[in-house]
């Protein structure tokens, strides 16, 4: 069963090992023991529904609570501390395009705000119903998970857009194919959600981000059905797919998507390497990207993330042995870990590995071909469960991300980490903050930042601390010319910063496009962009 409070399946836990607790207490302080509101008490907060009756809609309070929030830090405070104060008035679980169309017509007739719900994994406030205004209907696409068509000639598969990661890959694997889109939320996040938030999978370096994978699709919009052209490539004017990508449900509901797929790879491996410091590691990673090595993933952690990964692994003895070994080879306290993936044929992988090893060694790096890479791979969808245990211990954890050109990435990283580290100086609250480069391009890379701090006794204060850090980091990102989001999207949390990237003309184009498709403003009102 999916958790109502926190991330993931309620049968899965990721305990914080004792040495890791001691480490966190040393770095950020002793956590407060805080109560957690019960789900029963949360359900009591759900008000009566304002929706007219419809056969596809349930107004069950637990269903409405389950669809009230996503996974933003804000959402967590709401759900764990009981601050949640806006709920969808009902939830519908359509199974066909016709039913989606019917729900849109119902919303138009009754003046209802619609919020499509994929996996509920949004981390930027995409799913929060407005506090006032018309009633809200959550349209959960979880029952739309079928493989509609597999075209082996074209290497394309059409899915209903509510399909989640495991369901999608299981259906393709039976036929020897793979999409290869693996965001860390893969267990729950959905194809439709990936498309409208421009998601990026961990192995995007090989498989591509969602943009190139999305070949075509079908939407139900308030102005009627919309089929995207289905052509391998077109020079006939602007590409309509790019209006849908990143539209965050403002233009309608994606009901089907045709995706470019590949044959399953012959083999796949994940390995590690170490560099003596972040600057050297980042230079090597840039060289790797610009040499266009055939890797599937590159992820360079900074020294603090490397150390924290060691501490949270629960493998104290192994870590101590590893550190001694690394020290002997010149990888001391500032060591940074690179995890890389090889996905393809044996021959391609062997060649890429040899080329990478050459770059690593010429940047004072050291290859580690056992345990670490495979351990990272095995735990990659489990790691987010740590956020639950940390929260219950008394620590709040959030992440943010950007992309910057190579010539700004190192300074940008320092500035962002500095902004977060000192945002709670007035409260004398230390923050554990670390980062990694995880998606690389020939002209730049993405920077993913994790920050951990103590929850306050007053949940409003926990929120206030988060707002300070998030705002300080977002300001620094936009000052540096970085994007406010490389992969999570805009939602509510990043909305105030969108105009820095798009400019005023760009904002008008987005606004006018939404208004053309949705003149009555019934689709996910208030997210992505304001209308005044």
Contact residues toward ligand FAD (CB under 6 A) are 7, 70-71, 115-123, 126-127, 141, 161, 183-185, 189-190, 192-194, 196-197, 199-200, 202, 248-249, 253-254, 384, 487-489, 524, 527
Sign of CA dihedral 151, 152, 154, 158: positive
Cβ closer to ligand FAD: 80 or 194? Answer: 194
Q: Smallest gap, in angstroms, from Cβ of residue 360 to ligand FAD? A: 24
Q: Measured between alpha carbons, how far is residue 272 from residues 31, 173, 325, 356, 374 in Å?
A: 33, 27, 14, 11, 9
Q: Which is nearer to ligand FAD, 59 or 446 (CB)?
A: 446
Give the C-alpha separation, 226 to 517, whole Å.
10
Nearer to ligand FAD, 353 or 401 (CB): 401
Tell me how far, at minimum, the Cβ of 122 lies from ligand FAD, in Å: 3
Based on CB atoms, which residue is closest to ligand FAD, 69 or 468? Answer: 69
Q: Which residue number, 160 or 349, has a Cβ lying nearer to ligand FAD?
A: 160
Please report how close the Cβ of residue 144 comes to ligand FAD at its closest, in angstroms: 8
Task: Give the whole-angstrom CA distance, residue 65 versus residue 278.
Answer: 43
Residue 142: half-sphere exposure toward Cβ, Cα within 13 Å: 14
User: Who's near 231: CB < 8 A, 6+ residues apart?
Assistant: 216
Q: How far is the CB of 351 from ligand FAD (least distance, A)?
A: 28
- Find the shortest distance in angstroms from Cβ 330 to ligand FAD: 32
Minimum CB–partner distance for residue 427 and ligand FAD (Å): 27
Between 286 and 527, name the residue whose CB sits nearer to ligand FAD: 527
- When the beta carbons of 286 and 436 are compared against ligand FAD, the nearer one is 436
Q: Exposure string (b/e) for 20-51, b if CB count within 10 Å is 16 or more?
A: bbebbeeebeebeebeebeeeebeeebeebeb
Taking the complex as a whole, how short is the minimal distance between the CB of residue 196 and ligand FAD, in angstroms?
4
What is the DSSP annotation of 169-209?
Answer: HHHHHTTTEE-----TTTTT-BHHHHHHHT---TTHHHH--
Q: Closer CB to ligand FAD, residue 384 or residue 445?
A: 384
CB of 428 vs ligand FAD, minimal distance in Å: 30
Which residue, 249 or 440, is less far from ligand FAD as judged by CB?
A: 249
- Cα Rg of the chain, angstroms: 23
CA-nearest of 201, 206, 177, 68 to 129 is 68
Q: How far is 282 from 275, CA to CA, in rounded Å?
A: 9
Residue with Cβ nearer ligand FAD (84 or 253): 253
In whole angstroms, give the CA distance from residue 376 to residue 380. Answer: 6
Q: Give 122 or 349: the residue with its C-beta nearer to ligand FAD.
A: 122
Q: How is residue 363 written in tokens?
A: 């940047």
How far is CA 153 from each of CA 156, 257, 260, 457, 522, rounded to the nearest angstrom? 8, 17, 11, 60, 39
Instruction: Using the minimum distance from each CB to ligand FAD, give the nearer residue, 249 or 312.
Output: 249
> Nearest distance from residue 147's CB to ligand FAD, in Å?
16
Return d(Cα 271, Cα 413) in angstroms, integer. 25
Output the smallest distance, CB 450 to ligand FAD, in A.
Answer: 11
457 and 34 in contact (C-beta within 8 Å)?
Answer: yes
**By C-alpha distance, which of 398, 492, 522, 532 is closest to 128?**
492
Q: CB of 305: closest distance to ligand FAD in angstroms?
A: 15
CB 7 within 8 A of CB 71: yes
406's enclosing H/E stretch is helix 406-422
- CA 350/CA 357 separation, integer angstroms: 10
Q: What are phi and psi for residue 11, nearest 5 degrees?
A: -85, -5
Q: How far is the CB of 380 from ligand FAD (least distance, A)?
A: 9
């Amino acid at each position: 069963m999916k958790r109502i409070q926190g991330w993931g399946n309620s049968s899965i836990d990721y305990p914080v090992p004792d040495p890791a607790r001691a480490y966190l207490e040393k770095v950020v302080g002793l956590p407060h023991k805080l109560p957690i509101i019960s789900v029963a008490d949360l359900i009591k907060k759900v008000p009566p529904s304002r929706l007219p009756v419809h056969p596809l809609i349930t107004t069950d309070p637990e269903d409405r609570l389950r669809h009230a929030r996503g996974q933003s830090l804000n959402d967590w405070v709401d759900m764990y501390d009981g601050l949640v104060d806006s709920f969808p008035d009902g939830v519908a679980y359509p199974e066909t395009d016709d039913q989606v169309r019917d729900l849109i017509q119902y919303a138009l007739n009754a003046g209802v705000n619609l919020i499509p719900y994929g996996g509920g994994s949004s981390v930027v406030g995409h799913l929060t119903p407005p506090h006032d205004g018309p009633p809200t209907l959550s349209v959960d696409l979880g029952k739309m998970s079928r493989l509609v068509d597999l075209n082996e000639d074209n290497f394309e598969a059409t899915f209903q857009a509510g399909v989640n990661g495991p369901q999608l890959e299981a259906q393709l694997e039976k036929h020897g194919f793979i999409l290869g889109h693996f965001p860390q939320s893969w267990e729950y996040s959905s194809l439709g959600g990936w498309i409208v938030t421009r998601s990026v999978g961990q192995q995007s370096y090989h498989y591509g981000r969602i943009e190139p994978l999305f070949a075509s699709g079908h939407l139900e919009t308030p102005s009627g059905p919309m089929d995207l052209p289905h052509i391998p490539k077109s020079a006939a004017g602007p590409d309509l797919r790019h209006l849908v990508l990143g539209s965050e449900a403002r233009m309608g509901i994606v009901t089907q998507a045709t995706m470019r797929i590949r044959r399953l790879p012959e083999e796949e491996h994940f390995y590690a390497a170490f560099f003596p410091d972040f600057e050297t590691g980042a230079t090597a990673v840039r060289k790797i990207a610009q040499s266009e090595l055939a890797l599937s993933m590159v992820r360079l952690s900074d020294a603090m993330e490397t150390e924290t990964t060691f501490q949270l692994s629960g493998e104290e003895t192994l870590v101590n042995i590893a550190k001694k070994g690394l020290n002997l080879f010149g990888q001391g306290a500032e060591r940074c870990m690179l995890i890389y993936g090889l996905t393809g044929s044996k021959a391609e992988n062997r060649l890429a590995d040899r080329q990478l090893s050459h770059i690593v060694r010429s940047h004072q790096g050291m290859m580690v071909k056992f345990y670490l890479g495979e351990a990272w791979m095995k735990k990659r969808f489990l790691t987010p469960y740590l956020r639950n245990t940390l929260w219950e211990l008394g620590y709040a954890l959030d992440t943010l991300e950007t992309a910057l050109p190579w010539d700004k990435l190192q300074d940008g990283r320092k500035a962002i980490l500095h902004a977060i580290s000192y945002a709670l100086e007035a409260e004398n609250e230390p923050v554990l903050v670390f980062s990694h480069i995880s998606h690389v391009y020939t002209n730049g890379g993405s920077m993913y930042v994790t920050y951990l701090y103590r929850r306050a006794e007053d949940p409003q204060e926990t929120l206030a601390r988060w707002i300070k850090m998030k705002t300080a980091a977002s300001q620094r990102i936009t000052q540096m010319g970085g994007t406010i989001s490389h992969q999570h999207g805009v939602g509510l949390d990043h909305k105030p910063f969108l105009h820095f990237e798009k400019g005023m003309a760009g904002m008008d184009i987005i606004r006018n496009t939404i208004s053309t498709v949705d003149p009555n403003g019934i689709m996910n009102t208030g997210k992505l962009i304001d209308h005044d």
